[in-house]
Every structure is written in C-alpha cells, then in structure tokens.
C-alpha cells in the first residue's frame, strides 16, 4: 500500500496545498499502484485503526494505555463492520519502544490476535523507529506465523537505519505479501526523534522487480512522481534507486507529471468468469469484479431471480477482503429499463419473500452497503428502477448516450424505492 499521500505528508512541516495532494494521488495511480492511502474522507469504504504494542509509546502517541487504545478501537471496529466498512489495523513499536526499549514478541502476538478477533482483515506490523533488522524480522514472524496466517499480516517498516527494504524482503520470503511504502520516502515518526520515513516505494519496487516479483508498477514513471513531489515540497529526494535511475533515462527533459486524464492501466487486466447465467455475468480480475447485465432484448430489466441472486452475491462480498471494486455494466442499447414487464416476473404480489418491490429495495440496499467501491458504467438510457440502480452505486461513469427517465413521475407517482438514492445525489 502506497502511504505517501497520508502517512508521508502528515509529517511535512509546511502546508501542502490541496491541489498538490490531489495531483500526487492521481500521478501515483497512473504508475500502476493499486492501493493508495489518501487521507480521511467521507464515505470511506475502508478505515484503519491504530494502537501501540508498548505502554510508553501508547501514552506519548495516543495519550492512553494500550488497553484503552484497544478498547477505543473495538468501538470503532464494531460500528464500521456493522456499516459494511472494512477495517485494517496498524500496530507500532513491534521491535522497540523509544522510551522503554525492546518489545517482547509475545506482546506483539497478543495485540495482533486481539485486532483479528475484533474483525480486522489485516494487521500492519509497524517498526516506527526503523531499528529492526532482517534477523529481528525473522524472529518476530517465526512467533507470529505459528498462530496467525501470513495473509493476515502486513509489513510497515521505517528506514532510519537503512534496513526497511531488507526487512520487507525477509518478510516476503516468509510469506507476507502486503507492505506499506511511501513515494520518495516521505514521512517520519513525530513521537520518535530521529526516525526516518517509511520504506521508499521506488526502492521496494526495484528490489522486488530484480528478484523476479512483478509488482505491475511503472518504476520510471514512479521515479518521476517521487522527484516531482520532493521538488514541490522543497526536500531532498529520498530514493536511492530513483536517484540512480533518473540520470539513465533517455529522455533529456522531463516535466512534472501531467494533470490527470483517463488512461488505460499499464497492466492489462485478465478477466475470468466466476458466474454466468442467462440474466447476468460476473467476471473477476485481481481485486476487481464486474456485474454485467445480459438481457439486452428485454432492456436489461430486473427480474425476481436476478434481484435475489445478485443480492446474495453482494452480501457474500462482505466476507471477501480481497475484492476492492465492483463495476456494474450492461449489454445492448439500454443500461436498465427497471421493472421486468415481460410477464415472467410477478410484480403484483406484495406479500412475503416474493414481494417484488421488497426485492428491489433489498437489492439496492445491498449495493449501498457493500464495503467495496461500486461503480456504475452507464452506456445507455435508464428508466425507473434502472435510474435507482445507477445512483445506488458509489460512482457513475457515463457516456453521452445516457438518459435518465423517472417513468413513475409521468403518471404522478413518486419513485419511492429509489428516491433515497436519487435525492442524496441530485438533492431534494
């Protein structure tokens, strides 16, 4: 996970303009980085909770004991999970505390297990002081991996003593696959005097690429971003690999990263179909999934079976932290014409589980509450419930062919089921 825009910039003393932050995030996304920690935002699909393993640092950093920090996190985690929001945790001082010295490995295990039991899908192991070595990393993981699966852990290593890349690679050799890093090495630790920033993203990518581990990131483009943000902030460029790569570039003059514009990913996606019915198809590529409505001859109208099956699919996504995005698209001229009037769906029964309007409402609520980011890819007209379908999603990407028609309004009826989703975007 690239943490420069949040963890990195929080330790920069001068004010960083919002437009610089935005351009940094957009430029990082264009390098191929899949996960970028931005900042605190409204409507978050995932949050991070923090705690220190050690008493002294917990008091200095969070002004509370370790137990109090965990109790506070428990309240947040419970509320987040109930709202369909994924939770990741990050713990600090896994090797040593700047005030009390070395950290007991059993204490690290205890805090990790508490966070996992509370429902966090992953725990980041933070060496905020940057004092750990590959030997320390191995010793700690030998203890943790006896009780905790490797995919539930992540590495968060600072580079004070130049050990962060080595610690990350040792972790990789032992099964860890997620690492927090920061472009240009932005960051430090305000409660640990002398501590350096996070492991440098450019250096980490260079190491893994040389070891044959493909990260899917354009390293040269990433170096451009690192040099650009360092210049904007007036600080030395912190990447050793980047400093070596830059002079070798054949391009003699490079300008700062361009303003964001829609571009294709540098790594083409390979979609594998995981479910295919006569009404919809669901393929997956890495951390992304798509729902494609496949009833073009019927305007992709929503049938009872479609609503029930897709609601179940979305509910199950709560249990899958490996999926980050769900795109909704359709085949044919119309995106979705709403209610199925073909005769195959009973739209008059208002009782029990067969209540069609209840099924529509439940489907929209499932979209609204799924923890992953939902994106409506709209390339045709929408009618009635089809309008609600687009606005139940978090994001809409539309073509010039799109038209939204609230059919009910034409006969003086309020679109009750979809009003909630329309009003929050269009306004009352």
Active site (catalytic) residues: 189
Q: Is 297 helix (H, G, I), strand (E, B) or coil?
A: helix
Best CA proximity match to 390, nearest among 339, 347, 425? 425
The three-state DSSP-derived secondary structure of the chain is CECHHHHHHHHCCCCCCHHHHHHHHHHHHCCCCCCECCCCCCCCCEEEEEEECCHHHHHHHHCCCHHHHHHHHHHHHHHHHHCCCEEEEEEECCCEECCCEECCHHHHHHHHHHHHHHCCCEEEEEECCCCCCHHHHHHHHHHHCCCCCHHHEEEEEECCCCCHHHHHHHHHHCCCCCECEEHHHCCCCCCCCCCCCECEHHHHHHHHHHCCCCCCCCHHHHHHHHHHHHHHHCCCCCCHHHHHHHHHCCCCCCCCCCCCCCCCCCCCCCCEEEEECCCEEEEEECCEEEEEECCHHHCCCECHHHHHHHHHHHHHHHHCCCCCEEEEEECCCCCECCECCCCCCCCCCCCHHHCHHHHHHHHHHHHHHCCCEEEEEECCCEECHHHHHHHHCCEEEECCCCCEECHHHHHCCCCHHHHHHHHHHHCC
DSSP secondary-structure letter at 64? S
């Amino acid at each position: 996970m690239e943490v420069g825009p949040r963890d990195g910039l929080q330790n920069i003393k001068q004010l960083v303009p919002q437009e610089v932050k935005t351009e940094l995030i957009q430029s990082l996304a264009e390098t191929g980085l899949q996960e970028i920690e931005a900042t605190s935002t409204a409507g978050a699909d995932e949050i991070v909770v923090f705690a220190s393993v050690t008493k002294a640092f917990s008091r200095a950093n969070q002004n509370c004991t370790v137990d109090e920090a965990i109790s506070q996190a428990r309240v947040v985690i419970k509320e987040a999970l109930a709202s369909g929001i994924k939770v990741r945790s990050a713990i600090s001082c896994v090797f040593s505390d700047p005030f009390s010295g070395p950290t007991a490995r059993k204490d690290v295990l205890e805090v990790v297990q508490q966070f996992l039991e509370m429902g966090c899908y992953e725990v980041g192991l933070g060496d905020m002081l940057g004092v750990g070595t590959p030997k320390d990393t191995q010793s700690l993981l030998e203890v943790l991996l006896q009780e905790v699966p490797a995919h539930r852990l992540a590495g968060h290593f600072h580079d004070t003593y130049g050990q962060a890349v080595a610690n990350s690679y040792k972790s990789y050799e032992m099964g860890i696959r997620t690492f927090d890093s920061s472009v240009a090495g932005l960051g430090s630790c305000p409660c640990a005097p002398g501590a350096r920033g996070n492991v440098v993203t450019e250096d980490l990518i260079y190491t893994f690429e040389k070891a044959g581990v493909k990260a899917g990131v354009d390293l040269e483009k990433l170096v451009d971003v690192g040099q650009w943000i360092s210049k904007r902030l007036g600080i030395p460029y912190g990447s050793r690999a980047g400093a070596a790569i830059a002079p070798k570039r054949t391009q003699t003059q490079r300008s700062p990263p361009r303003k964001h514009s829609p571009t294709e990913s540098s790594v083409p996606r390979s979609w594998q179909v995981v479910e295919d019915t006569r009404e919809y198809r669901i393929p997956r590529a890495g951390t992304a999934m798509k729902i494609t409505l496949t009833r073009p001859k019927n305007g992709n109208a929503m049938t009872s079976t479609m609503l029930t099956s897709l609601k179940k699919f979305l509910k199950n996504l709560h249990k899958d932290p490996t999926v980050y995005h769900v795109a909704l698209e359709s085949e044919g001229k119309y995106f979705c014409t709403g209610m199925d009037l073909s005769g195959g769906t009973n739209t008059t029964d208002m009782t029990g589980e067969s209540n069609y309007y209840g099924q529509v409402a439940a489907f929209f609520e499932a979209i609204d509450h799924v923890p992953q980011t939902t994106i409506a890819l709209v390339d045709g007209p929408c009618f009635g419930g089809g309008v609600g379908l687009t606005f139940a999603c978090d994001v809409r990407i539309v073509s010039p062919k799109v038209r939204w028609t609230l059919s009910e309004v034409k006969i003086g009826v309020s679109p009750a089921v979809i009003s909630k989703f329309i009003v929050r975007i269009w306004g009352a």
